[in-house]
């Protein structure tokens, strides 16, 4: 019976080792999946950030280009001449 008990303990130890190995592999696999997802999200956010930076630069350039026209309209002369061109008459 001593041999049978040893075999049972060895079988039990093998099952424990196999279970621990499978559990460890599953944990590592799960962590790899989480890492991949995080890297993909970081890439998407970086891409969106670059696109927003490009948009900000474009709008800043448009603002700088239009400031001269805005100053012209704020002076009143451009509004007067535009009104005249539209058919308004001075009273």
Query: What is the reported pLDDT for 25?
Result: 97
Query: What is the reported pLDDT for 87?
Result: 81
pTM for this prediction: 0.55
State how many domains the chain has: 1
Q: Is residue 15 part of a domain?
A: yes
CA 78 from centre of chain: 44
If pLDDT is split at 50, 70 and 90, which confidence band does 32 have?
very high
Query: What is the reported pLDDT for 19?
Result: 94
Q: Is residue 91 part of a domain?
A: no
- C-beta of residue 88 within 8 angstroms of C-beta of residue 82: no
50: domain range? 2-85
Q: Is residue 90 part of a domain?
A: no
In angstroms, the CA 44 to CA 50 distance is 10
């Amino acid at each position: 019976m001593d041999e049978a008990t040893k075999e049972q303990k060895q079988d039990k130890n093998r099952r424990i080792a196999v279970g621990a190995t499978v559990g460890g592999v599953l944990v590592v696999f799960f962590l790899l999946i989480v890492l991949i997802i995080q890297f993909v999200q970081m890439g998407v956010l970086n891409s969106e950030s670059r696109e927003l930076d490009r948009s900000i630069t474009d709008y800043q350039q448009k603002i700088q280009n239009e400031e001269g026209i805005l100053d012209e309209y704020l002076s009143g002369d451009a509004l007067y001449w535009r009104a005249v061109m539209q058919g308004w008459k001075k009273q």
